[in-house]
Amino acid sequence: MVVSGIKDSLKQQGVRLTRQRQILLDLIDQSGQHLDADRLYQLARLKDPKLNRVTVYRTLKLLKAGGLVDELDLMHHEGDQHYYETRLKQEHAHVICLRCGKVEEFFGEPLQRLRKQIESHFGFQVLLARTEVGGYCAHCQTLRAREVEELKSRPVTPAKRAAAPKRTRSQRG
């Protein structure tokens, strides 16, 4: 469905869709996730072992320049990594958990409203809007609350510390 749209756009731009480019396109389009170049490379290699990193980077650059793929940093929750997703998806905001790295997509009407407000306020023509929200997911909030409790209950004086049960680090691998 969406892939045919990408193919048409590429054809219009005179870009030849080689087999390897097709593999990468399909991966970005079908994963529904936000994959970084390295992950894309690994997945693509499963389909074509001859595919190399240079092709991955070149193809991403090509798709980005063609406005078919969006490059995201997702609040740099994993450092300098960049992530890729299809531009053919409806506009959405990314909600990123800064603890576990989970990424949710918010497709809400307020995004369209914001775009319209910016256009009328500045007389600006919006071509691309990227909204990122960072914080803690419900699961991580629970874990963090527990961690804080553990820190509070941890004995502070040396005498008490000796009485506390020993942590067996080796068992945790």
Where along the sequence are the contacts to Zn ion (CB under 5 A)? 85, 97, 99-100, 102, 105, 137, 140
**Torsion sign across C-alpha atoms 116, 118, 120, 121:** positive
Instruction: For the chain, give percent helix, strand, coil, nearest 5.
Output: 55, 15, 35
In the chain, beta strands by DSSP E: 35-36, 69-72, 83-86, 93-97, 103-106, 131-135
Smallest separation (angstroms) from Zn ion to the CB of 117 = 22
Please identify, using beta-carbon distances, which residue of 37 and 97 lies nearer to Zn ion.
97
**Torsion sign across C-alpha atoms 36, 39, 45, 47:** negative
Give the burial string for 112-137 (b: 16+ CB within 10 Å, else e).
eebeeeeeeeeeeeeeeeeeeeeebb
Smallest separation (angstroms) from Zn ion to the CB of 121 = 26
Please identify, using beta-carbon distances, which residue of 42 and 142 lies nearer to Zn ion.
142
Please identify, using beta-carbon distances, which residue of 28 and 97 lies nearer to Zn ion.
97
Smallest separation (angstroms) from Zn ion to the CB of 40 = 15
Smallest separation (angstroms) from Zn ion to the CB of 79 = 17
Smallest separation (angstroms) from Zn ion to the CB of 47 = 23
Please identify, using beta-carbon distances, which residue of 45 and 77 lies nearer to Zn ion.
77
Cβ atoms 59, 21 nearer than 8 A: yes
Please identify, using beta-carbon distances, which residue of 28 and 51 lies nearer to Zn ion.
28
Cα angle value 22/28/33 (rounded, 5°): 160
